[in-house]
């Protein structure tokens, strides 16, 4: 394998692993902060790395529109461009074409769409998606797939799944094999068990370096997502990493890891940080709420992040009320630390064979709710 993956420990169906890339290793289960446009919004790369993140996600759709993949390549690739030292995974652009692009026209060859930025016309094929990700120098490249919203008619899910399989074959043919780089296939099929099985087995026969479960986190209830994982993950090769795309909350991560997921990405910790929502051991809090305006305590008293070590809830509340950008920066930093702490706790628990104990304590603490206001 060009992208070696070693399972170091298991606890039930959960896995503790090690993924080796050309630009560093990744301890799994892993959460990848989203750096869509070559930046985790508001933070320096060294701040992201200090949170415990070992790998970032970039996006084909956004980077092809600006600044352009060829320009990034001329400037040394995405890693040098953004000064990130570790591995990078790039999403293929399929989801963004579905969710952002205007006047989308899909056919067997690919998708033609107008940019959501300026209305310019673009044509994205499986071959071009792989080429863009190569130009960006992504360690993990994702196949181009067609994403559909849920709920969806079975006929539509079946059509999109089969098209994604044909595109997967084309991606595999043009992907440039080399040590420390890999290509992941994406399992589609909506919430239909038979379609997911057909997709997973066909991709398994193509022998990808890793496998993603796509088409979730698009509005379905958590129990539906977990049900899809329950019948999909056992179909995938045990010796390859499993990536659940676009998920999710800390609660989602814990439950998905217990089912055997190795990798995650989601905008929630960073987007929430910009909208005053902080993730803590006791659940989610809104720093705009007046209950925090006189509170000298940190966001989470047990959190080692720079925000909690130096500043009070009252200060962060003030920053959001005053619309100062530092509020978003400090809360984003805290949220990333919290997400990475959850992942580190999951890895340690799997190694010790105590995942059930970890999960029980996690859910009990989340259910307690925020600290009561002082006074």
Annotated catalytic residue 265:
yes
Give the active site residue among 91, 145, 209, 295.
91
Give the percent of the chain with pLDDT over 70.
Answer: 99
pLDDT at 292: 97
Give the active site residue among 11, 252, 262, 265.
265
Query: What's this model's pTM, rounded to 2 decimal places?
Result: 0.97
What beta strand segments (E) does the chain contain?
5-11, 14-21, 24-28, 30-32, 56-59, 88-91, 102-106, 111-114, 121-124, 140-142, 182-187, 210-213, 242-244, 263-265, 277-280, 283-286
Annotated catalytic residue 145:
no
Write the CA distances from 34 to 53, 122, 286, integer angstroms: 11, 24, 22
pLDDT at 286: 98
Q: What is the mean pLDDT of the chain?
A: 96
Whether 321 and 312 have beta carbons less than 8 Å apart is answered as: no
pLDDT at 279: 98
Q: Where in the chain is the domain with CATH 3.20.20.105?
A: 5-265
CATH superfamily of 5-265: Queuine tRNA-ribosyltransferase-like (3.20.20.105)
Confidence of residue 103 (pLDDT cuts 50, 70, 90): low
């Amino acid at each position: 394998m060009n992208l070696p993956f070693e399972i170091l420990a298991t606890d039930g169906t959960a896995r503790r692993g090690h993924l080796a890339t050309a630009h560093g290793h990744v301890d799994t289960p892993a959460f990848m902060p989203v750096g869509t446009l070559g930046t985790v919004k508001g933070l320096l790369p060294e701040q992201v790395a200090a949170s415990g993140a070992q790998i970032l996600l970039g996006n084909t759709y956004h980077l092809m529109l600006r600044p352009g993949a060829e320009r990034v390549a001329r400037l040394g690739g995405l890693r040098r461009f953004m000064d990130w030292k570790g591995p990078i995974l790039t999403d293929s652009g399929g989801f963004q074409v579905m969710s952002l692009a205007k006047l989308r026209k899909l056919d067997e060859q690919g998708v033609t769409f107008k940019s959501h930025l300026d209305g310019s016309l673009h044509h994205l094929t499986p071959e071009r998606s792989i080429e863009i990700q190569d130009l960006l120098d992504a360690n993990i490249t994702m196949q181009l797939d067609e994403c559909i919203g849920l709920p969806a008619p079975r006929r539509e899910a079946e059509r999109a799944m089969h098209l994604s399989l044909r595109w997967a074959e084309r991606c595999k043919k043009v992907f440039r094999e080399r040590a420390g780089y890999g290509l992941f296939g994406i399992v589609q099929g909506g919430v239909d068990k038979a379609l997911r099985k057909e997709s997973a087995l066909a991709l398994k026969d193509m022998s990808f370096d890793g496998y993603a479960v796509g088409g979730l986190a698009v509005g379905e209830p958590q129990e539906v997502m977990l049900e899809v994982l329950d019948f999909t993950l056992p179909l995938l090769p045990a010796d390859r990493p499993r990536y659940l795309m676009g998920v999710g909350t800390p609660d989602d991560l814990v439950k998905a890891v217990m089912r055997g997921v190795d990798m995650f990405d989601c905008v929630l910790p960073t987007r929430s940080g910009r909208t005053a929502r902080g993730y803590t051991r006791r659940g989610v809090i809104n720093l705009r709420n007046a209950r925090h305006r006189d509170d000298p305590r940190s966001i989470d008293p047990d959190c080692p992040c720079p925000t909690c070590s130096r500043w009070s809830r009252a200060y962060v509340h003030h920053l959001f009320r005053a619309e100062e950008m530092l509020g978003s920066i400090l809360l984003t930093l805290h949220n990333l630390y919290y997400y990475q702490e959850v992942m580190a706790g999951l890895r340690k628990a799997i190694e010790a064979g105590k995942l059930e104990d970890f999960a029980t304590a996690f859910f009990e603490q989340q259910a307690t709710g925020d600290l009561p206001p002082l006074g």
